[in-house]
């Protein structure tokens, strides 16, 4: 185990957190681009030696303590896996969403204080047919968030390109507002926007393929249409998604949303990973239980409305 510090939410730590700032702030032009396009790519947000520890952990424990949720996204079977967590402890997975460059960038883009919504490791295996176009805010609207004041930071842990079905986004689609989503049986029971409106949006707006390398990151708006294509390669595409909500946008629905309630987000220095100040394994990390149609868990990936 690496050297640990007390990361609990004490008054001393909160005072210290207020003084912590990233050495890699977003520029005004990057913030402007995010608001214009609904997303921004930040090359090398994490250095290679910061990504390597997590890559090694995934090689050592590819099962992630049995926390994978598998969702059938094509008729060939389950080859899209996701592991989800909300609690941020002393592990590497608990530290990454709290380091200064993540929080400062998020708050610069949201324009207000944020807290951790949830994070995921996603493994898209060879042969996966991809994810249909969708907006994250449709899901989070159902959770009780009044405003689309949420975003996701996607960090590449392996190369992400068109051959392996990289993330694709629709530029400026966040300006459409929330589009009504419906269940499509022909899309593996995925929850996606109504076809006529989606078709018109794709006619008018540009599709951009987010080809990135390990350590690169994409910040995208909760209303940005995004999806992915078929993984035609022989390798899995692995990503980490860290999602944040504005503090003032805490869901008004309380039932089933205990994991999405506001908790103070203790910001950590950018140097935490390189300094090795974290628990190095997954053993102490608190993942959400794996979900299925029969066991919805916290409903982060499977929703009652999608399985009825």
Per-residue pLDDT at 75: 45
pLDDT, tens digit, 9 for 90 and up, residues 44-95: 999 999 999 999 999 999 988 888 887 655 545 446 788 999 999 999 999 9
pLDDT, tens digit, 9 for 90 and up, residues 169-215: 999 999 999 998 777 666 555 667 777 889 999 999 999 999 999 99
pLDDT score of 252 more than 70: yes
Per-residue pLDDT at 211: 98
pLDDT score of 133 more than 50: yes
CB-based burial, 42-62: b 16+ in 10 Å, e otherwise: beebbeeebbebbeebbeeee
Per-residue pLDDT at 195: 75
**What is the overall mean pLDDT for the chain?**
87
CA–CA distance, 138 with 87 (Å, rounded to integer): 23
Annotated domain spans of the chain: 11-17+49-307
Minimal CA–CA distance to 297: which of 145, 78, 61, 118? 118
Q: Reduced to 3 states, what is the DSSP secondary structure of residue 265?
A: coil
pLDDT, tens digit, 9 for 90 and up, residues 17-55: 568 999 999 999 999 999 999 999 999 999 999 999 999
Average pLDDT over residues 3-18: 46
Per-residue pLDDT at 121: 96
DSSP 288: P
pLDDT score of 10 more than 50: no
Residues near 28 by Cβ (< 8 Å), separated by ≥ 6? none
Average pLDDT over residues 126-145: 91
Which CATH architecture group holds 11-17+49-307?
Answer: Sandwich (2.60)
Specify whether the CB–CB gap between 119 and 97 falls below 8 A.
Answer: yes
pLDDT score of 293 more than 60: yes
Average pLDDT over residues 219-231: 96
Q: What is the CA radius of gyration of the chain?
A: 18
CA–CA distance, 248 with 147 (Å, rounded to integer): 9
Per-residue pLDDT at 33: 98
């Amino acid at each position: 185990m690496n050297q640990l510090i007390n990361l609990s939410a004490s008054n001393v730590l909160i005072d210290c957190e207020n003084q912590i700032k990233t050495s890699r702030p977003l520029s005004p032009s990057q913030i402007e681009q995010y608001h214009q396009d609904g997303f921004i790519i930040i090359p090398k947000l994490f250095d290679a030696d910061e990504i390597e520890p997590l890559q090694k952990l995934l090689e050592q424990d590819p099962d992630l303590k049995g926390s994978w949720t598998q969702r059938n996204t094509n008729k060939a079977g389950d080859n899209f896996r996701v592991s989800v967590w909300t609690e941020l402890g002393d592990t590497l997975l608990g530290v990454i969403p709290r380091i200064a460059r993540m929080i400062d960038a998020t708050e610069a883009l949201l324009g207000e204080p944020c807290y951790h919504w949830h994070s995921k490791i996603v493994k898209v295996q060879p042969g996966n047919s991809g994810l249909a176009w969708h907006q994250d805010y449709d899901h989070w609207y159902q959770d009780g968030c009044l405003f689309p004041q949420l975003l996701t930071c996607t960090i590449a842990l392996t190369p992400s390109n068109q051959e392996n079905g990289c993330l694709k986004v629709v530029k400026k689609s966040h300006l459409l507002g929330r589009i009504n989503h419906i269940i499509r049986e022909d899309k593996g029971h995925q929850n996606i926007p109504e076809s006529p409106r989606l078709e018109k949006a794709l006619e008018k707006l540009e599709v951009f393929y987010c080809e990135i390398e390990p350590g690169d990151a994409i910040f995208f708006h909760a209303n940005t249409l995004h999806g992915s294509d078929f993984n035609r390669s022989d390798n899995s595409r692995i990503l980490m998604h860290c999602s944040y909500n504005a503090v003032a946008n805490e869901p008004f629905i309380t039932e089933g949303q205990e994991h999405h309630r506001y908790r103070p987000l203790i910001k950590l220095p950018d140097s935490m990973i390189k300094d090795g100040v974290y628990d190095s394994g997954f053993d102490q990390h608190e993942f959400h239980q794996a979900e299925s149609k029969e066991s919805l868990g916290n409903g982060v990936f499977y929703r009652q409305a999608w399985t009825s």
